[in-house]
Copies of this chain bind each other. A is one copy, B any other.
């Protein structure tokens, strides 16, 4: 059945009108007609079965038939990553991480970041599309791009992966189920000053293996390691 993301849904609603964009998608692209059934996701655990009450291509009306709720996973998987110079690469990370079950993504502006601007709207669309594709009921939280320092002051502990010499842990030995972001640096890595700042704040340093991984590969690998822990 076709899926739609309707963030404004609430369990007490008996009906809803799709946005102009979603109405067009439903009635023009998918050619759904009055009486057809669809699935609506609110991105917060709710799945609604609905029937098209009026197949209008600008304001498609739906009648809600059924509602189920999935509890939020106890384990948070939060990756904070510096967007890649090549935008496609970070978008790929967002898609794959969502499919696999990331719960929160933060974007870091680092000293060595080559990309200082991002299209948050586009990133959000990628998350929504991957959520629907993988039939997840929770949309990952996407946080705006913030300077590295700001992020550390707001998240005083977590794990940081870097490529300098020094003592490092395996992620599986230090990871915690909540409040523990995994930090992945830009092409060119975090600077020694950034690493020291995180260390002083209480961050664990982790190794993702002896080979050099691209930023987005490192991000996804950290995400997969966190997801597969305890499963």
Residues of A near any B CB (own CB < 8 A): 92, 96, 99-101, 133-136, 170, 209, 211-214, 217, 220-221, 224-225, 227-228, 231
Contact = CB atoms under 8 A, between A and B. Distances in A.
Contacts of A212: 133-135
Most buried by B among A92, A99, A136, A212: A99
A224 B209 CA distance: 12
Contacts of A231: 170, 209
Contacts of A220: 96, 220
B133 A221 contact: no
B100 A213 contact: yes
Copies in the complex: 2
B134 A99 contact: no
A211 B101 contact: yes
Contacts of A211: 99-101, 134-136
A211 B214 CA distance: 26
Given A101-B211, A133-B212, A134-B211, 19 more contacts: A92-B92, A96-B217, A96-B220, A99-B211, A99-B213, A99-B214, A99-B217, A100-B209, A100-B211, A100-B221, A101-B209, A134-B213, A135-B211, A136-B211, A209-B227, A209-B231, A220-B220, A225-B228, A228-B228
Nearest to A172: B228
A171 to B, nearest CB: 9
Contacts of A101: 209, 211
